Amino acid sequence: MSIVILFWGVVPINRDKAAPMYYTYILENQLGILYIGQTGNPDIRFNWHNTGKSKFTKNKGPWEVIFTKEFQTRIEAIKFEKYLKSLKNPRYIKDHIIL
């Protein structure tokens, strides 16, 4: 077991566990507005969106998860998030990405 020292404390790293996964996701509210993001913990992040803890989705919910894609690295998840955001067309995203 290794230990990583971070500015907020010491975190043990167990190399025996499976590598963490990262996710790019798309949320939709009742007005059809899409929110695109990425996270390492989807359950906690989705809860934040629906409880007002995320400033960009606060007071615009409830939000429903309509798409998730899993990646092995955060960099891959961020790249896909940026790609989706570059499309800038909710109809195209719904028709071609979400299927």
Q: Higher-confidence residue: 76 or 5?
A: 76
pLDDT of residue 52: 87
12 close to 3: Cβ distance less than 8 angstroms: yes
Q: Where are the beta strands (DSSP E) in the chain?
A: 2-6, 9-13, 22-29, 34-39, 63-71
Q: State pLDDT tens for residues 16-55.
A: 566 679 999 999 999 999 999 999 999 999 999 999 898 8
Domains of the chain, earliest start first: 19-98 (3.40.1440.10)
pLDDT higher than threshold 60 for residue 75? yes
Q: Is the pTM value of this prediction over 0.75?
A: yes
pLDDT higher than threshold 80 for residue 15? no
Q: State pLDDT tens for residues 63-74.
A: 999 999 999 999
